[in-house]
Amino acid sequence: MSATSLAPEIQSKIDEWLTGAYDDATKSAINKLIEDNETTELTDAFYKDLEFGTGGLRGIMGVGSNRVNKYTLGMATQGFSNYLLQTNPGVQVKVAVAHDNRNNSDLFAKVTAEVFSANGIYVYFFEGLRPTPELSYAIRELGCHGGVMLTASHNPKEYNGYKAYGSNGGQLVNPHDVNVMQEVRKITDITEIKFDRVEENIETIGKDLDEKYLQTLVDLSISKDAIARQKDMKIVFSPIHGTGGISVPPALERYGFENVILVEEQMVVDGNFPTVIYPNPEEQEALNMALNKAKETDAELVMATDPDADRVGIAIKNDQGEWILLNGNQAASLLVHYVLSAWEKNGKLTGKEYVVKTIVTSYMLDKIAESKNVECFNTLTGFKYIGEIMTKLEGQKTFLAGGEESYGYLVGEHARDKDAVVSCTMIAEMAAYHKDQGSSLYDALIELYLEYGFYKEKLIAITKKGKSGAEEIQALMEKYRSEPPVSLGGSKIVTIKDYQTSTSKKMLSGETEKIDLPSSNVLQFFTEDGSIVSARPSGTEPKIKFYCSVNDKLENKSQFAEVEARLDEKLDIILKDLGV
């Protein structure tokens, strides 16, 4: 049986699945697609194998080699098992496995644990859904050699995914991610996957580790007196149907906040995310219910976490009493400034502290760190690179805080991944601190602009679905490399950084320098007036992202609207110049 207009290599892959040792349900689903002549779906499902990207393995659930299912995750886990056993000879290899609230996440976590156990690997298996940062914490706390989190983060409900972690508690980085995939590619038949559960190799974990994790977060508090005085501050919180519901409220309670208002409709664990279009705290739509609750209750802070609780979106009131959403750059700047200022005030800065951000995150953070004589590292996009730096510097320097523009932050060294649970507690503490000073988070943001410059960023993401979409994105990047723009927003481009070739080129002199970061398909354009534009195809989604950053001086608060309008206009011109 075959569908019309299928490429020979795709038909061959389909035939392998129909004649191989796959279960009857899988074969029936494939045959149904063939009978319905779903050539586009069949092409997308079989034209390639799922690969590790910047965020691990992620895709649409369903049958096929390019879909998330029992077999693709089984192959990934078998390959990961082989690698862990090869690189840790003569010892009992241990891993931790957790999952979020997505449809099938519990099933996929069970399959993952069973494959590990069948390979003689000892598995610490969380009894129920848990946030990603707790999985990262557990790997380090339990002395594991690796771990897996079953989640697709903020993606639509059709998606699921597999985040693979190393012994440092961070997601796999080069060469480990590449080596794991090489092991996966060596598996030519699913009969090579060991699916048979070995009961004695699986230990269920839960509440005891929860307690240790929460206490670790409480120990990071730096303004306990301010919280005690502002304990009645009204905070609205929503987990958007995800794992934040089991971790953030108890963490806020332990910090001392006594007036946390929950969005009850979104406290319900549901992988269909019935109250939102996308469970993405970057989007206002995902925060609408929380904002409505805040208006009803006259709250002072809104926070909402994504399904696996590694990212958080926040809303605050401006000086007109209107609710505004802070973007990831603004939240990261406020958080880093708060932590560094507190350490400075307490006389704890010794010159060995540091912060980390990604190259597409606001360069205001670099200026904040510089003003405090704290080193600021820049990494490629993906929190795994922040975790990698933390691991390299462990015992030599002290990590204070870090983050990326995509709403992921970390305070403290307990994890090697972004942590929305500690971010919620520290953001709430920061709000309490400023309120205690007779100020607000909005006032604090304006003060940052006055001191460091008004930085404004805009992210445009263009989705190109399927095989043809991936080819379009590749062609676009090739064009930017072969025919780069001469100017953007009316300002000449003075430097182009190509992270794929690890080369930084000064356009006037032609002088080049090596970029000391791993190769990545990212281009950055730096203009004469300080604007920065980054073009980056996503490693986990069929889209290309453009990160635009502009800045200007803000002499006094009364000029805010005027300067903001000027920056908005410049951002629009830059995007037009890029043809976006």
Kindly tell me the number of DSSP H helices and DSSP E strands found in the chain. Answer: 19, 23
Question: Would you kindly state where each structural domain of the chain is located, as residue ranges?
Answer: 1-15+23-47, 49-205, 213-220+229-452, 454-577
pLDDT at 77 over 70: yes
Q: What mean pLDDT comes out for the span 180-203?
A: 92
Would you call 549 a catalytic residue per the annotation?
A: no
Q: DSSP secondary-structure letter at 171?
A: B
Buried b (16+ CB within 10 A) or exposed e, 551-574: bbebeeeebbeebeeebeebbebb
Q: Which of 419, 432, 441 is nearest to 223 (CA)?
A: 432
Buried b (16+ CB within 10 A) or exposed e, 342-352: bbeeeeebeee
Q: Which of 337, 320, 58, 326 is nearest to 171 (CA)?
A: 58
Please report which confidence band the pLDDT of residue 1 belongs to, taking 50, 70 and 90 as the band edges.
very low
Give me the count of residues in the chain: 580
Q: What mean pLDDT comes out for the span 233-237?
A: 98
For the 49-205 domain, the top CATH level (class) is alpha beta
Strands (E), 14-63: 57-60
> 312-317 and 323-326 as β-strands: parallel, antiparallel, unpaired?
antiparallel
Domains 49-205 and 454-577 are alike in CATH topology:
no
Q: What mean pLDDT comes out for the span 362-379?
A: 97
**Residue 138: CB partners within 8 Å, gap ≥ 6?**
96, 98, 124, 126, 144, 147, 205, 209, 213
Question: What pLDDT does residue 541 have?
Answer: 66
- DSSP labels, 368-435: HHHHTT-EEEEE-SSHHHHHHHHHHHBTTBEEEEEEETTTEEEESSS-SS--HHHHHHHHHHHHHHHH
Residue 469: how many other CB atoms lie within 10 Å: 16
Question: What pLDDT does residue 396 have?
Answer: 97
Which CATH code for domain 454-577? 3.30.310
Q: Which two tokens stand for residue 21?
A: 């040792």
Of 81, 105, 136, 153, which residue is the catalytic one?
Answer: 153
Which CATH code for domain 213-220+229-452? 3.40.120.10
Q: Which two tokens stand for residue 256?
A: 């001392």
Half-sphere exposure of 411 (CA within 13 A, CB side): 29
Compute the mean pLDDT over every residue in the chain, rounded to the nearest whole number.
Answer: 95
Please report which confidence band the pLDDT of residue 52 belongs to, taking 50, 70 and 90 as the band edges.
low
Give the model confidence (pLDDT) of 418-470 as tens digits. 999 999 999 999 999 999 999 999 999 999 999 999 999 999 989 887 777 88
pTM, rounded to two decimals: 0.94
